[in-house]
Amino acid sequence: MRTFTLFIAVFALLLLSPAVLAQGNNNNNIVRLIDDLERSRDDLERDINDLRRIRGQGNEINRADLAEVSRRTRDALQNIDNVRDDLINLDNASRQ
C-alpha cells in the first residue's frame, strides 16, 4: 500500500503545478480524481482485509468468496487505471 500512496502523492505533486492550479476547472478535476484514487485504495484494502479475515477464521476460501474478491479487486484496479489515464490527459491538456 505504500507504493500506491506514493503513486497518489507523485501524481498530485506533478499535477499541482502553478500552471495547473491557475486553471480552476483543472484543480476541481484533480481533487475529484484524487478522491477516486482514495476510494479505489479503500476498496483494495477492504479486499485484502476480507481475505485475511477468511484466512484467520481457518476457513477454506471457497470459489464464490475468491471470485467476489477477485471481481472487486479487478474493478478497483480498473478504476485506478482510468484515473491514471484521466490524470495524464489533464496534465497533457494543461501543458498545451
Q: Spell out the domain ranges in the chain.
A: 2-95
What percent of the chain has pLDDT above 70?
Answer: 67
Amino acid letter for position 63: R
> Of 4 and 53, which is predicted with more confidence?
53
Q: 64 pLDDT exceeds 70?
A: yes
pLDDT value at residue 61: 66
> Of 6 and 80, which is predicted with more confidence?
80
Closest CA to 34 of 78, 77, 86, 74: 86
Average pLDDT over residues 70-75: 84
Q: 46 pLDDT exceeds 80?
A: yes
pTM for the model stands at 0.55
Backbone angles phi, psi at 22, to 5 degrees: -65, -20
